[in-house]
Structure 1
Amino acid sequence: MHLLALAIAPVFIIILYIYYKDKYDKEPKRLLLYSFLLGAIVSIIVTTILYVISDYTIPIVIKGNTSVSQLFIKAFFIVGLIEEFSKYIIVRYFAQPNKAFNEQFDGIVYAVMVSMGFAATENIMYVMQGGLEAALLRAFTAVPAHATFAIIMGYFIGKAKFSKNKTTWNLLGLLLAVIFHGTYDFFLFLEFIPGIWVGAFISLFLGILLSRKAINTHSKNSRFKDSFPL
């Protein structure tokens, strides 16, 4: 039970942070819960199916003799693309069309809820296998990384909702999430190069900075800001 609590604690800390940042028009708790559960269940199922397909079509196993080009493909076109796409389809086709999605900041909220559902399931599996060390390490790396990918994606999905160029903004959000996810994983996959893992933390730090800017921008431009009581 202690490991389970450690696995889900960083997930709910991030959820509470984003919920707090949604200052002017809180989302229905029911929809937030549905988004989280869809991320935790459906997104994981989609990811698993696509991973099985990729194992047959692009069989890349990370081991000592795996080339840099293969690791690049694995990071960006398998792990990054599959995981972010599995989250994207839920935000795009479940959350975005909902009438409760009524301001740009909502893109961030729902993307984070879906992503944290995914991260919760993934984190539980890793922590149950890796124990306390895995729980502590992932609380400051993998879980925040998933949150930054979601915020970046959600920022553009929020813009898409109220734009004539909906497809462009939506796909840009997916693309940037894949790029940040792929970059983070790529540096971790290059473990045979001493010190290269620092690149993953640099990309995570950059993602956090961009996420803060995205949150502040959409919050500042909220359509409900003027009606919020001081």
Structure 2
Amino acid sequence: MSMHPFPPADGQPSRPPGPQGPLPGQANPTWMGHVDPQYYRPAPGNAAGPVNAGQGHPLVPPQMRSAAGSTIGTPSPGLLALTIGGGVLAFLSLFLVVPFLLANTGTGGFLVGFVASLVPLSAVLLAVYVIDRWEPEPKRLLLFAFTWGAAVSIAVTLLVQPFFALAFQFADEADFRTYMATIQAPVVEEFAKSLGLLLLLLMARKHFDGPVDGVVFAFTIAGGFAFTENILYFGRAIAESASPASDLAQIFLLRGVMSPFAHAIFTGTTGLIMGFAARRWHSGASVAAFFIGLLPAMFLHNRWNSMGQGFLVEYILVQVPIFVLAIIGIILLRVAENRLTRQRLLEYAAAGWFTPSEVAMLATPGGRRSALNWAGSYNRRPQMKAFVKAATQLAFTRQRILSGRDVQLHQAEERQQLHNILALRAAVAG
């Protein structure tokens, strides 16, 4: 059966770009990913000739066809060090974290708390998947982020918080508890969590190059931290309460249903600010963004922990709007990222690598869904999904080149990705 290589994008014009392609003045379609004109350069041309709308796969060498879906590149020394070092730190942290949890919850409380904590954790990780679906971060980095939050940041908190307890003496225990909840917890916990973000930015900068990446890593770290903290709170409800079932239900409602994203939103503000700093790569700027980003995270954490007798009113009037604003902010980030992806792919289309209708398909959520459904009717959904992801990654590689970051390294990666695009196109077209 003869197949058109890609489905038409509904309602999208198929006008080709101008004879010289997008001009430098068009290189900044959104506020995100601004490109300085001095760094702008045309996309490399397709030596095999422009891709035509009716073409199945243009001049793909056999060895390139077998490369479809392959992983490009090898881990950098920084990424390898981050993975190994993070694993060692997480393992060592367990020797402090696990005994602490067991001492406070008992074995039964620990097991119940562990299972119950999987529910809010699943909600956070689902959000990470949705946000990061089309340009996913390496699994090893997401694993680092999760283990940092679940183990290392907890260990750092346990080691540092006694110094806060000794720094001030309170005659009233209620004042001491208020101090620990509203001052110590926001300062120490947000610092401990965000330290993992700083390591990611400094040692895996290739994969941390924008606000969306910052939010993804921050949500993953915060999800891990909240997971361990929930084990403690849920387990205590079992171990210390005279009516464990009702107390567990009450705490689960508060932490697992009403606020599963609390820590994610706190730390997400730090990740957002650090992500913007990553657009203009500079070590000093990244460290400065780390400290600046801690301020809103600590403030939001403080406001959450400061809610007292008027909890329900403040939750409805303050915390729910903050959550809604977070959702709107993430949607705006994704819209801006889609527009940036479209612009970068249009530049490759001008160089002959894509058709304009393919760009419309690859750079919009609706176009991607239509493409996957269309490919599924020919039993080629996995191949189409790989093609869409590869094109998205290619667009972000070009963004790194145009931002002036490690240009030669990313240009070499760009060449490999372009060859892979041809192979993936062949796999989809059959």
Shared fold, TM over 0.5: yes
1:81 aligns with 2:187: yes
Number of matched pairs: 221
1:22 aligns with 2:116: no
Question: Which of 284, 293, 300 is matched with 1:180 structurally?
Answer: 300
1:222 matched residue in structure 2? 337
Question: Which of 261, 264, 274 is matched with 1:147 structurally?
Answer: 264
* CA–CA distance in structure 1, aligned partners of residues 171 and 315 of structure 2: 20
- The percent identity for this pair of structures is 26
Contact 2:112 2:235 in 1 (8 A): no
1:130 aligns with 2:237: yes
Using the TM superposition, give the Cα deviation of residue 207 of structure 1 relative to its aligned residue in structure 2, in angstroms.
2.5
The residue type equivalent to 2:193 in the other structure is: K
Using the TM superposition, give the Cα deviation of residue 49 of structure 1 relative to its aligned residue in structure 2, in angstroms.
1.2
2:291 matched residue in structure 1? 171
Question: Which of 217, 220, 224 is matched with 1:113 structurally?
Answer: 220
Q: Which structure 2 segments of 5+ residues have no match?
A: 1-110, 239-247, 346-358, 368-430
Q: TM-score with structure 2 length normalisation? A: 0.47
* CA–CA distance in structure 1, aligned partners of residues 267 and 297 of structure 2: 7
The secondary structure found in structure 1 opposite 2:318 is helix
The secondary structure found in structure 2 opposite 1:221 is helix
Contact 1:35 1:113 in 2 (8 A): yes
Q: Which has the larger radius of gyration?
A: 2
Structure 1 window deviating more from structure 2 (73-82 vs 17-26): it is 73-82
Structure 1 window deviating more from structure 2 (19-28 vs 110-119): it is 19-28
Q: Which structure 1 segments of 5+ residues have no match?
A: none
Using the TM superposition, give the Cα deviation of residue 53 of structure 1 relative to its aligned residue in structure 2, in angstroms.
0.9
1:7 aligns with 2:7: no
Question: Which of 141, 149, 162 is matched with 1:39 structurally?
Answer: 149
Q: Which has the higher helix share?
A: 1
Using the TM superposition, give the Cα deviation of residue 217 of structure 1 relative to its aligned residue in structure 2, in angstroms.
2.7
The residue type equivalent to 1:209 in the other structure is: V
The residue type equivalent to 2:263 in the other structure is: H
Contact 1:153 1:176 in 2 (8 A): yes
Instruction: Say what the alpha-carbon RMSD is for the aligned residues.
Output: 2.6
Question: Which of 89, 92, 96 is matched with 2:198 structurally?
Answer: 92
Using the TM superposition, give the Cα deviation of residue 75 of structure 1 relative to its aligned residue in structure 2, in angstroms.
4.2
Using the TM superposition, give the Cα deviation of residue 62 of structure 1 relative to its aligned residue in structure 2, in angstroms.
7.5
Using the TM superposition, give the Cα deviation of residue 85 of structure 1 relative to its aligned residue in structure 2, in angstroms.
0.7
Question: Which of 318, 327, 337 is matched with 1:212 structurally?
Answer: 327
Contact 2:150 2:224 in 1 (8 A): yes
Using the TM superposition, give the Cα deviation of residue 196 of structure 1 relative to its aligned residue in structure 2, in angstroms.
4.9
Cα 1:54–1:136, aligned 2, differ >3 Å: closer, same or farther?
same
Using the TM superposition, give the Cα deviation of residue 154 of structure 1 relative to its aligned residue in structure 2, in angstroms.
1.6
Using the TM superposition, give the Cα deviation of residue 17 of structure 1 relative to its aligned residue in structure 2, in angstroms.
1.5
